[in-house]
Amino acid sequence: MRNLLLVVLLLGGLIGPLAAKPAAKIESVYPSSSHLPANTIRFYIYFSEPMKQKVSASYIHLINSTGVVDTQAFMNFGTELWSPDAKRLTVLLDPGRIKRGVETNEALGSALLVGESYNLVIDGHWPTYEGKTLERGFVKSIVVDAPYRTLPSLEHWLVIEAVRSQLKVSLDRVFDSALLKRFVMITDNKGSPILGKIALGASEKSFTFIPNKPFESKAINIVIDPRLEDISGNNFAGLLDSTIGANKVEPVLVKRVLIFD
């Protein structure tokens, strides 16, 4: 009787057909810029659904302009760096190919050569956790610029706009997209955190902080954890490619900003 009632309701148009579940897809890849320094260290791949793990090496490829695949471009350390929900994968280029003077670099050279172009190709046949394939693959075009060999500097961060509704800041280089949201904090003139959200600008070379309510202080602070990294793994405490070790810095770095009505 219950099944008969369901059929009647469907035929009568009272219950619509179940909506088809959207196909799994690659939502974004960071860094978003097509121009990257030769010592870029990591990529983030965001998926719409949890993905099958421990198979990424079969589905991610770095291909140069002549069509040659670099089979040793990515770090292989027996595990993969997934977010807890299995929707974000962190892909590391082999640091041994980036650091000058180490055996791997001298034997193979950098995976990304200045002035050359590459494609980061993600195969659309990669299965999801449930066994489906992606809606389509993804190709990120890369043009390689000079490597980042200097420390990032808060002095070179420029305040573009500072009004009660938002703070917009231009950065001195491309920063790690995930760490920007984690290691940047805005505080009031007493040092108390201001709640809000950070929206990344084009190529992760700027950000806009939007407070939950308009700034009340006439002066606010941009507070940086020195572990914040650029896309080459350099942070405010030291360079990834360094033979002299980390530099000494304050526990946090602060840039004071005046708010205009």
pLDDT tens for each residue of 140-188 = 999 999 999 999 999 999 999 999 999 999 999 999 999 999 999 999 9
Is residue 172 included in any domain, yes or no? Answer: yes
Pairing of strands 219-224, 253-258: antiparallel
pTM: 0.84
**Could you give phi then psi for residue 96, rounded to 5 degrees?**
-65, -20
pLDDT one-digit tens code per residue, 200-251 = 999 999 999 999 999 998 999 999 999 999 999 999 988 888 755 555 566 7
For tokens 């959207």, name the residue: 22
Is residue 225 included in any domain, yes or no? Answer: yes
**218 & 158 share domain:** yes
**166 & 101 share domain:** no
Residue-level pLDDT at 6: 37
Look at residues 114, 145, 176 and tell me which one is the last residue of a structural domain: 145
Largest CA distance in the chain: 79
Residue-level pLDDT at 21: 73
CATH number at residue 91: 2.60.40.1220
Look at residues 115, 145, 175 and tell me which one is the last residue of a structural domain: 145
pLDDT above 50: residue 98: yes
**166 & 214 share domain:** yes
Is residue 178 included in any domain, yes or no? Answer: yes
Tell me if 64 sits within 8 A of 70, measured CB to CB.
yes
Is residue 209 included in any domain, yes or no? Answer: yes
**Could you give phi then psi for residue 161, rounded to 5 degrees?**
-150, 135
Look at residues 145, 167, 190 and tell me which one is the last residue of a structural domain: 145
Is residue 237 included in any domain, yes or no? Answer: yes
Strand partners, 183: none
**174 & 250 share domain:** yes
Is residue 70 included in any domain, yes or no? Answer: yes
**77 & 112 share domain:** yes
Instruction: Calculate the average pLDDT of the chain.
Output: 87
For tokens 């978003």, name the residue: 32
Task: Tell me how far apart the alpha carbons of residues 147 and 180 are, in angstroms, rounded to a whole number.
Answer: 20
Task: Count how many domains the chain has.
Answer: 2
Task: Tell me how far apart the alpha carbons of residues 125 and 26 are, in angstroms, rounded to a whole number.
Answer: 12
Residue-level pLDDT at 252: 82
**115 & 226 share domain:** no
More confident call, 98 vs 208: 208
pLDDT above 60: residue 104: yes
> What residues make up the domain containing 245?
154-258
Residue (of 203, 33, 22, 47) closest to 123 by Cα position: 47
**224 & 138 share domain:** no
Of 19-33, 53-67, 223-237, give the lowest mean pLDDT range. 19-33
Of 3-7, 47-51, 57-61, 183-187, give the lowest mean pLDDT range. 3-7
**36 & 134 share domain:** yes
Task: Tell me how far apart the alpha carbons of residues 101 and 107 are, in angstroms, rounded to a whole number.
Answer: 10
Tell me if 93 sits within 8 A of 72, measured CB to CB.
no
Is residue 243 included in any domain, yes or no? Answer: yes
Residue-level pLDDT at 159: 95
**104 & 158 share domain:** no
Note the helical H segments in the chain.
2-11, 95-98, 103-108, 177-183
Residue-level pLDDT at 15: 42
Residue-level pLDDT at 183: 95
**30 & 91 share domain:** yes
pLDDT one-digit tens code per residue, 131-142 = 998 999 999 999
Is residue 61 included in any domain, yes or no? Answer: yes
Helix (H) or strand (E) holding 206: strand 206-211
Binning pLDDT at 50, 70 and 90, where does residue 14 land?
Answer: very low
**175 & 138 share domain:** no
**34 & 96 share domain:** yes
Percent of the chain with pLDDT over 90: 69
